[in-house]
Amino acid sequence: MSTTENYIFRELCLLADGCVFESVPVRLILPAANEGAAPARIKLIGVPRTPGLLTITGYCCEVFGVRNVCKLYGPKGPLKVEVLPSLALLQLVSSLPRAPIEEDHNEHSAEITVYSGQIFEHSLTVKNSSAIAIRKVHLQIWQPKVSGGPSMIELVSEDTDTTFSLAPNEEKDIKFRIFGIDPTATADDEGSIDEKIVETALPLASTHAETINDNGEAHDLIPYTGRLLTCQFLFQYVADVDGPEGE
């Protein structure tokens, strides 16, 4: 479009047939044409709300109060997309405080300070927040290996099933125990992926103690060996989803 005036396009959105589709309208100000100016590019988005065959037929907009409909024809003609049913959604809620770090909101990390020899009990709630039954959930714990003594993370009950199923909106509490292990006692088992030890400049598990002698000088009784030890709860789950033809 070549013009000497700016055009304002209102309610610019996709047109679709088939399954229920929610288009997100945008407002576009197209500047006056200049020689050598590149074409304006804009991304139109929408969200399918039901499964089925979705056909993008074109787009529409409003200019000077008049609604314009532009259909897609030829090689760029109607775009067909198969929309699958919603997947089962598993949510995790921990009694541990969240780690004060910037991260992806979809990947939560929790952090706790534990001194060597201390024991704390916490819980993790696993919930199926979808309308689809999850027929198998498997829990695996990745943690540093220890040369003797208890593990850093242990399930409170030995009878706790690490493989279970969840009906729609059903939840399960998993209680676990955190033991303050000696960071220097971790063992490298041939480079196993179970060991994840990261050095930190700040003493999260401090072994620092001081005493004051007759001269008023302070000395460390125990040298600093604090480390940030990382453990991971990995959940793998399987759910049945019907295909477009009921398979």
pLDDT per position as a tens digit, 129-178 = 988 899 999 999 988 887 777 888 888 876 677 899 999 999 999 999 88
Q: Which pLDDT score, from 0 to 100, does residue 137 have?
A: 92
Mark 133-150 as b/e (b = at least 16 C-beta within 10 Å).
ebeebebebebbebeeee
* Residue 103 pLDDT greater than 70, yes or no: no
Are residues 110 and 214 located together in one domain of the fold?
Answer: yes
247 lies in a domain?
no
pLDDT band at 231 (very low <50, low <70, confident <90, very high): confident
> Could you report the per-residue pLDDT of 183-204, keeping only the tens digit for each?
666 655 444 444 444 443 334 4
pLDDT band at 210 (very low <50, low <70, confident <90, very high): very low
* Residue 209 pLDDT greater than 60, yes or no: no
129 lies in a domain?
yes
Are residues 129 and 225 located together in one domain of the fold?
Answer: yes
Are residues 44 and 132 located together in one domain of the fold?
Answer: no
Are residues 180 and 99 located together in one domain of the fold?
Answer: yes
Are residues 137 and 22 located together in one domain of the fold?
Answer: no
> Could you report the per-residue pLDDT of 6-47, keeping only the tens digit for each?
778 888 999 999 989 999 998 888 777 677 777 778 889 999
Per mean pLDDT, which range of 52-61, 110-119, 197-206, 208-217 is the poorest? Answer: 197-206
Among 54, 83, 112, give the residue marking a domain's end: 83
Token digits for 10? 């209102």
What whole-number distance in Å separates Cα of residue 219 and Cα of residue 137? 52
7 compared with 235, residue with greater pLDDT: 235
Pick from 38-42, 65-69, 242-246 the range whose average pLDDT is largest. Answer: 65-69
26 lies in a domain?
yes
pLDDT band at 218 (very low <50, low <70, confident <90, very high): very low
Are residues 51 and 104 located together in one domain of the fold?
Answer: no
Among 41, 64, 83, give the residue marking a domain's end: 83
**Please, which residues have CB within 8 angstroms of residue 192's CB and are 6 or more apart in sequence?**
145
Question: H or E stretch including 11?
Answer: strand 7-18
Q: Residue 118 sits in which domain range?
A: 90-239
Q: Which pLDDT score, from 0 to 100, does residue 14 have?
A: 93
Are residues 126 and 202 located together in one domain of the fold?
Answer: yes
Pick from 30-39, 224-233, 236-245 the range whose average pLDDT is largest. Answer: 236-245
69 lies in a domain?
yes
